[in-house]
Amino acid sequence: MEIGKVPESILKRAIFKQIRTKREEVLLGAGVGEDCAVMQLAPGEVFVLSTDPITGTDKDMGALAIQITANDLASSGAEPVGVLLTVLLPPTADEPLIRQLMKEVECACEKLHIQVMGGHTEITAAVNQPLISVTGVGKVQKDQLVTSAGASVGDDVIVTKWIGIEGTSIIAKEKEKELLQRFSRPFVEEAKNFDQFLSVVPEAAIAVKSGVSAMHDVTEGGVYGALWELAEASGVGLEIDLKAIPVRQETIEICECFRLNPYQLISSGCMLMTARDGRRLVRDLEQAGIKAALIGRCVEGKAKKIVNGEDVAYLERPRADELYKIYE
């Protein structure tokens, strides 16, 4: 396609025609010539905004872009309402690709009841593969807002589901041929399907009702990065039991195959939480069918300890995510 804005005819056919999910809060949404979106809040509600690009993979990136943004909003206790998309495409892109991306976006939006409120789509030589950047808009009652800075000394530390599930799914899709030389097809398919666990919206809603003090979506940098960031934001130390951190066998074996550290692997779908009564929170989550584990506690000071039996290590500042090593 020619460099520049996507033609209006393609906008209507491949983009606007795909947008079906609507929210009553959105007074003005996506349309030809509309540069802004308008949203109305109820008394006592506040906006929560988040922005994220998808750059680590081009597999199912439309769905992934929406899910990651919804997770970020949910980590603040907010209900996701709408998204604004910036889609940059290389000159090799065609209309079927655009339509497929928007179908993925709308499918994810429909599941989460999120409206595409607007955005921008452009063909540019500045990228050599599709790039989606999403700005998410959510709402929450002001007195129910949760941040990464809410943890206190004495709080328990909890994680939901398993670490590394997003990275495992991405690697299984990107490196499928290589993995099939070492593992069975059912094993690889199971790993690919970890993307079904990427939403943390349900557990965030339960946690807010169960007295969560802080939440942080475990994304780039893995659980080690998320632990560091939450502790720094809250001004607390940590004592974490390494053996209590839940990880799937598929993640362990795929990480061994590529010499990756699963604790530093992108982990969307895993939510890091703190609560005064962590056992109650774990119980409430598991009653809703969401796996959760108590992995440690917040302590005085700045030290962030990882305890593995008799061995003790200390968290370092977050590094580049392990996922990027598979492209080197």
Return the closest-CA partner of residue 133 out of 62, 200, 197, 75.
62
**Confidence (pTM):** 0.86
pLDDT at 18: 87
Contacts (Cβ under 8 Å, ≥6 apart) of 95 = 1, 10, 13, 14
Buried/exposed code over 106-138 (b: 16+ C-beta within 10 A; e: otherwise): bebbeebebbbbbbebebeeeeeebbbbbbbbb
pLDDT at 57: 66
pLDDT for 84-93, tens place per residue? 999 999 999 9
pLDDT at 89: 93
pLDDT for 156-193, tens place per residue? 999 999 999 999 999 999 999 999 999 999 999 999 99
Give me the residue spans of the domains in the chain: 4-144, 156-327
CATH class of 4-144: alpha beta
φ, ψ for residue 314 (rounded to 5)?
-125, 135
Topology of domain 156-327 in CATH is: Phosphoribosyl-aminoimidazole Synthetase; Chain A, domain 2 (3.90.650)
The segments of the chain whose pLDDT lies below 70 read: 56-58
Contacts (Cβ under 8 Å, ≥6 apart) of 309 = 243
pLDDT at 252: 98
Contacts (Cβ under 8 Å, ≥6 apart) of 137 = 37, 39, 47, 48, 49, 73, 80, 81, 82, 83, 84, 117
End-to-end CA distance of the chain: 30
